Structure 1
Amino acid sequence: MPDTVESTPAVRTSPPFRADHVGSLLRPPALLAARQRYAAGELDDAGLCAAEDAAVSDVVALQESVGLRDATDGEFRRTSWHMDFIHRLGGVSRTDGRVEVSMRNAGGQTSFTSAGMAVTGRVRLDEPIFADAFDYLKAQVTTAVPKLTIPSPSMVYARGGRAVISEEVYPDVEEFWADLSAAYADEVRALHDRGCRYLQLDDTALAYLNDPAHREQLREKGDDPDTQHLRYIRQINAAIADRPADMAVTTHLCRGNYRSSWAAEGGYDHVAEALFGELAVDGIFCEFDDERSGTFAPLRYVPAGKQVVLGLVTTKTGALEDPDELKRRIDEAARYVPLDQLCLSPQCGFSSTVEGNELTVDDQKRKLELVVAVAEDVWGR
């Protein structure tokens, strides 16, 4: 280990952990095959559930075997990281419309198409979402803390903006925001009742605002790109304000992740002061895997007591990072925020949608092992 990383702060025993990960994992071939059979009508609900159960059991064992202190279900029961949740909120309807998001990758331009949605009734929580999935995850872990990931409240608005929110139901958009945060607060309480002690709110809306092109798109829709991040932060805070003291909540900021493509670029400068200073979460997962994520300078706004999980290991390719380079970059980040407030993770999920990124299951395992090994070198076992 280079002697540029100086001390070895205490190992963390509560989330986020020194070695952590965002949540989604590559679906194994057997599960993808089961999904195809299900879509073709050759497999019933029970058969698909059995395939999902088996895959989740295996991937939990994988996470524990590489030394991670938390484990997710890989989001194996979802098609996408966010819409499977959003469509289950009361008052939200699936539509025939499609939302196309322009994406980029190493080869050039591409796009991601998401299922449409509309807010056609008062937003509410009719029943806990992903509760059964969490119950199964919780039953599978032996050494790891079970972690559940859900989209942040911001995503319900960001997917379509005011245009998809019924003006008959919500003539005043402030009532929509109040109902949305209340529904999320109900979800947080319900998940805690099921034993969830580590919840992550995944968010692209805040990260997209760092990209001037996305800010202009927001302006064209009638929102104020200079203040929209303050709205998102306020609503997330309202959703988690009454969470029990023993429940850790983090958020992951993502610039888009679909088949190794991304949607936005730019450092965290536009949102940094409010994001780090006002967002009332225990930790923030930040992408820092390449130049499109900007510098570490915005970390100067991180207050004492808040953790930042440095997403230095890319999930966009299978190429394995140099451990010494990762340690050098951790040391660079520690110039802006104390080393004791830093953790390490991959930059994003490996499979935010069912298709997954352009790397193999073996590549994924090596990346997770690398995160654990570097974290142990820097912060100790």
Structure 2
Amino acid sequence: MTTIAELKRMRVDQVGSFLRPEDLKAAFLRHARGQLPMEGLVAAQDEAITGLIATEEAHGLPFVSDGEYRRLNWQVSFSDVSGWDLWSGSWAQFLTSPDNLGAGEQHNSKGADAVLSFRTPATARLKLETSFPAGELAFIRKTTKTPAKITLMGPDRVCQMCDIDGSKPFYADADMFLADVVAIQKAMVAGLIEGGAAYVQIDEPSFTGYVDPPTLERMAARGEDPLRNLKRAIAADNAVIAGLAGKAVFGLHICRGNRASMWHREGKYDGIAEAVFGGLAYDRLLLEYDTERAGGFEPLRFVPKGTMVVLGLITTKSGEVETVDQLRRRLDEASRSIDLDQVALSPQCGFASGIGGNALSESQQWRKIDVMMETARRVWG
């Protein structure tokens, strides 16, 4: 049986989502149109997830996820919370946005600001009704004995998506709102551990907002102090897993946007590396490194000994499949800034942060996974 200590040092990783099969997308669409009851959608999800888990195991992954196959997009992990209707109109948007089902032309370019497009005020004090990720985990645990990984939207991202000014009847400021988010997510993580999750990953694309010029300008326009916000974000992420060390593997993923092969933030890690890499109390830091937008590997010198760095050198935004030689060269470059004993390899993000997925085929997706596995074998044995 794989131990937590062994999982912590895994040489490969996968951020979470996989491309949804076409029949699963069709089931979501039929449900949204009122043509398929929830029971039918759940049955389609169960069948697709069972097949995915078998495929993950066949490709040798040391853990499995459900590919986020039950989610319209990755943010659904925080959906069953009363007092903040993040998903108001989400099914209608699903029906009308071509990106949701992969239709239309796809671009490797800067997309619309996903945070602003969802900014919603609280309608009451937040309360966790049910844990959506706990339901995802229960099915995985029923389906396989392979260690299970579950992903959650990070607390700072949740806070950035709230219209704090519109929430004044219930929340005096962002600090008060974030405190409730942390309490809810800490309860969710504790529940996942109790349910048998071996690996819990927090997704915090918000961190790249602290190096992205347009995002920084918006913070300044609202009278916010980005440095204070950054320190608050680090403290919030740490609070979510406080007291739980050793009970599961904890990873934190940082990216720059991943909807329909698009990105929406840029900026190198240099400006946040010392505070973020050195301040987060996580076992594994999953970092996007597939394009020049991420900058060089020099900031990795701030990663503490004992923390694993998962380098996202494999792009999920196109179908061009990397080679083992290409990845080994990049790892050699990284070794000038950090000991490879602290390093693992992964795709830079999920393959489908939204149900439509990125601009590549399932075959290309799995070839990328195979190249990752082979590279890890050659580098680390």
- TM-score, normalising length from structure 1? 0.90
Distance in 2 between residues matched to 1:16 and 1:152, nearest whole Å = 22
CA contact (8 A) 2:252 2:285 kept: yes
Can you list the C-alpha shifts for 1:333-379, whole angstroms capped at 9, x where unaligned?
12111111100000110000011000001010101111111011111
Aligned counterparts of 2:289 and 2:87: Cα–Cα separation in 1 = 35
The separation in 1 between residues aligned to 2:83 and 2:37, in whole angstroms, is: 28
Corresponding residue for residue 163 of structure 1: 165
CA distance in structure 2 between the partners assigned to 1:234 and 1:227 by the alignment: 11
- 5+ residue gaps, structure 2, are 94-98, 100-105
Q: Return closer, same or farther for 1:241/1:358 CA change in 2, 3 Å cut-off.
A: same
Q: Alpha-carbon deviation of 1:230?
A: 1.1
Q: Point out the structure with the larger strand share.
A: 1
Percent of residue pairs identical: 38
Deviation of the 1:248 alpha carbon: 1.2
- Aligned mate of 1:128, from 128, 131, 142: 131
Shift of 1:140: 2.0
- Match among 148, 173, 180 for residue 146 of structure 1: 148
Distance in 1, matches of 2:110 and 2:311, equals 27
Match of 1:74 among 60, 67, 89: 67
What's the counterpart of residue 7 of structure 1? none
Q: Is the 2:110–2:263 Cα contact (8 Å) retained in structure 1?
A: no
Q: 1:232: which partner in 2?
A: 233
Matches within 5 A, 1:242-281: 242-281=243-282
Structure 2 letter corresponding to 1:154: D
Structure 1 contact 150–201 (Cα < 8 Å) conserved? yes
Structure showing the higher helix proportion among its residues: 2
Shift of the 315–88 alpha-carbon distance from structure 1 to 2, 3 Å rule, reads same
8 Å contact from structure 1 (residues 97, 115) kept in 2: no
Superimposed CA distance per residue, residues 61-82 of structure 1 (whole angstroms, 9 cap, x where no aligned partner) = 1111111101110000000101
Q: How far apart, in 2, do the equivalents of 1:178 and 1:94 lie?
A: 18
Is the 2:346–2:372 contact (alpha carbons within 8 Å) kept by the matching residues of 1? yes
Alignment of 1:184-263 (within 5 A): 184-263=185-264
Task: Say what the alpha-carbon RMSD is for the aligned residues.
Answer: 2.2
Per-residue displacement from partner, 1:210-241 (whole Å, max 9, x unpaired)? 22222112212232123321111011111110
Residue 316, structure 1, aligned to residue 308, structure 2: no
Aligned: 1:93 with 2:96: no
Q: CA deviation at 1:51?
A: 0.4
The answer for the alignment partner of 2:287 in structure 1 is 286
**1:108 CA displacement:** 4.9
Question: Number of residue pairs matched?
Answer: 363
Following the alignment from structure 1 to structure 2, what is the Cα–Cα distance between the partners of residues 28 and 94?
26
Q: Hey, what does 2:15 align to over in structure 1?
A: 22
Structure 1 match to 2:379? 378
Question: Which residue in 2 is equivalent to 1:3?
Answer: none
Residue 127 of structure 1: how far off its partner (Å): 2.7
Letter of the 1:319 counterpart = E
1:176 shift after superposition: 2.2
1:184–1:239: 8 Å Cα contact kept in structure 2? Answer: yes
> 1:64 maps to which residue?
57
Structure 1: any 5+ residue segments left out of the alignment? 1-11
